[in-house]
Amino acid sequence: MEKNSSLTWKEKITKYLKNYFKNLNLPLYITFILVAIGLFLLDYFTKAWAYDNLSSTEVVDFIPGFLSFVLVGNKGAAFGSFSGLSYVLVPLSAIASLALLFWLLFHFSHKELTLNIGVVLMFSGAAGNLVDRIGYWAQSGRYVDGVIDFLKFTFWPSFPVCNIADYCLTIGIVVLVVGVILKYVKASKRDKQIEEVQSTTFSEEQKREDIDMTSKLAALENKEENPDDSQENPE
């Protein structure tokens, strides 16, 4: 314990990374990273397609009665919230993207798949919209009108027009919350099992101590009632 506490922060990081990659499920790890990259690219290229082929004045039916395409510039966050606050949204999106990327790269665990799925979805969504927000902040190229949204559910007219990144974020948050709840439930069950084992062990030890004490008391009472037979009687 003292030896570990004397390590420098660089040595601690090096030790952590060695143990981390040594115990890593590499195929699953690479799969999750590729999925994250794939979702990011899917969001990027569908936005580029939407900007080049759609109009803000014409709704194109993709699945009649269910899904349509229409070009909308979103100057805020997901689903149009916090409009016009790019100076806040860009730093927050960047911090969130880096934090999620750090988790995915250096805190991945095959034992927490639900959490990792949530992180992958959230990272892809956050990074996808971050590109648009930086472009809008710089007033560059296709991003002059804000984040590119184009997915419209025609069966729900009041639902905001959005993009793939928005859905990655939304679904990712839900999955992450479910993962946290499952992790808490699992930890609670494990703690309960440990308490039961400790309680059982304590009960068995206490039972043995009680038996020993009862035997000693019985022997003492017997000795008081019957003097030692080895004592010689006077003639």
Structure confidence by residue, pLDDT tens digits, 116-130: 999 999 999 999 999
pLDDT at 94 over 70: yes
pLDDT at 54 over 80: yes
Encode pLDDT of 138-159 as tens digits: 888 888 888 999 999 988 888 8
pLDDT at 227 over 90: no
* Per-residue confidence (pLDDT) for residue 138, from 0 to 100: 86
* Per-residue confidence (pLDDT) for residue 44, from 0 to 100: 97
Its pTM stands at 0.76
What is the helix (H) or strand (E) element at residue 77, kind and residue range?
A: none
The mean of the pLDDT values for the chain is: 84
Q: What percent of the chain has pLDDT over 90?
A: 52
- 146-155: b (≥16 Cβ within 10 Å) or e: bbbbbbbbbe
Strands, sheet with 147-153, edge to edge from the N-terminal-most edge strand: 60-63, 67-74, 147-153
pLDDT class of 230 with cuts at 50, 70, 90: very low
* Per-residue confidence (pLDDT) for residue 129, from 0 to 100: 92
Encode pLDDT of 27-43 as tens digits: 999 999 999 999 999 99
Residue 69's SS3 state is strand
pLDDT class of 166 with cuts at 50, 70, 90: very high
Residues found in the chain: 235
* Per-residue confidence (pLDDT) for residue 1, from 0 to 100: 45
d(CA 50, CA 48): 5
**Burial (0-12, 13-18, 19+ Cβ within 10 Å), 229:** exposed
pLDDT class of 68 with cuts at 50, 70, 90: very high
pLDDT class of 216 with cuts at 50, 70, 90: low
Of residues 216 and 74, more confidently modeled:
74
* Per-residue confidence (pLDDT) for residue 99, from 0 to 100: 94
pLDDT class of 235 with cuts at 50, 70, 90: very low
**Residues designated as active site:** 149, 166
pLDDT at 57 over 80: yes
Of residues 155 and 217, more confidently modeled:
155
* Per-residue confidence (pLDDT) for residue 190, from 0 to 100: 80
